[in-house]
Structure 1
Amino acid sequence: IGCVCILILTNGVSKEMNLRAELISQLEARRKAEASSNYKSQFLANMSHELRTPMAAVIGLLDILISDDCLTNEQYSTVTQIRKCSTALLRLLNNILDLSKVESGKLVLEEAEFDLGRELEGLVDMFSVQCINHNVETVLDLSDDMPKLVRGDSARVVQVFANLINNSIKFTTSGHVILRGWCEYPNSCNDSPNFYLDQKKSRVIHKSKDKINANHAKRISLRDNKVILWFEVEDTGCGIDPSKWDSVFESFEQADPSTTRL
């Protein structure tokens, strides 16, 4: 009986020691992971600060050059495009600075009025420079009833469209890339949650292949001074195989991973 009791007591102590050792190991692994994440965030923040300084100088010099009355129209247009591209790069650097805020859950989206049409026009003009040597036309097609001013975080909004347009250009060797936008609201007879999707599908099905249809439904809701804006990016690229539709939304996934496109 004495031997059995000693064996049972020893077994319990052994399990407790194993659990304690496992807990210590997990805590140490967590500490190392947090330290590594902090080092990464600090490195990216320092790198972004170092790159922002010369980029700000470049933009300042471009502003001086743009104000020069001696520039021809072609030179003025070229310098203006360079300035837009430089501003876009500076915006990307600012996004790197925001990474640490995102990881700590302290990122706050700005809420300010901005001219959405002007921002999108500048974005499309910037990408048109990228397509000069390619047989690809970039087009901005906004309905006439689009509000001039909207409220939100302009930098984040523009970045979303930039990612979509950039991806379309990557996989389009000829033809066009169109950023299209229009306003809609559900009337009293169409309050179902699928109303917008049904209308959008109907437009896509009946869209002419030879002519861009700009006559979208132009209805603005005045309730609460809010409107619902629809956007789509259309391109004549290779498209995505239906079997890949689910996988492309995963991180670091491509429909054709064997191809690297610049």
Structure 2
Amino acid sequence: METIQMQVPLVFLVLPLFVFGAPADASGPQEVTITSNSCKRCCDSLDAPGSSEASPGRNSPHSLPYIIPEVRPYINITILKGDKGDQGEPGIPGKWGKEGPPGERGAPGPKGSKGQMGAPGDPCKHQYAAFSVGRKKALHSSEGYQALIFDTVFVNLYSHFDMFKGKFYCYVAGLYFFSLNVHTWNFKETYMHVMRNDQEEVILYAQPSDRSIMQSQSLMLELRENDEVWVRLYKRERDNAIYSDNVDIYITFSGYLIKPSLE
């Protein structure tokens, strides 16, 4: 009985040393042998008398092993996280993948702003046009249509007006101004058209009268290259005539380019 009383307090003194003050070179669980007649292993059954694996009786001199589990400290990793590092250098580009199918046509975008003025055009091409011609002879129209031919030149820049055909040929597309002036004949009708190609644009008309007067017509036309502008007389059931005296010029036809086309 004295032996048991001396060993039990020793167990409580040795046990904290293994839990809180284990040696630094201990890498695994430590096995402590405690001699006590009243100790049993945790896996032994309390209700299995006569079993060969049951713990010995109180008076058994056998010693029982006691396993102390390893105690590892808990470390909070979040408090050990450092600051964000600098961005690394770009890696080597990978290989190009296969080309995909073309996508659908997108919606038209907004209209862009007006561009800058282009460079000057070809200096060899004239950007001017002007003519002014007249007629000294009176004219009586024949049957049907008749072109008005002129015999006097005031201005014919770059010879754009053909005096033999009585037509102005457009070599510089753009906006033009034209003017036609005639003198009517007593008791005769004056019936004329300013033509663009084969299309009547404006008419100059005067009814028969007992006195002759000056008549005029003017217009602006936007011409394309190779357009023709000329004056046509048309005889109906009445005589159609324009007056002149072979001395003064009563009949004039003029035109000039106001602004060339940008196209």
**The structure with more strand, counted as a fraction of residues:** 2
Q: Same fold (TM over 0.5)?
A: no
Give the alignment's TM-score, normalised by structure 1.
0.19
Give the alignment's TM-score, normalised by structure 2.
0.19
Larger radius of gyration: 2
Query: Of the two structures, which has the highest relative contact order with CA contacts closer than 8 Å and spacing of 6 or more?
Result: 2
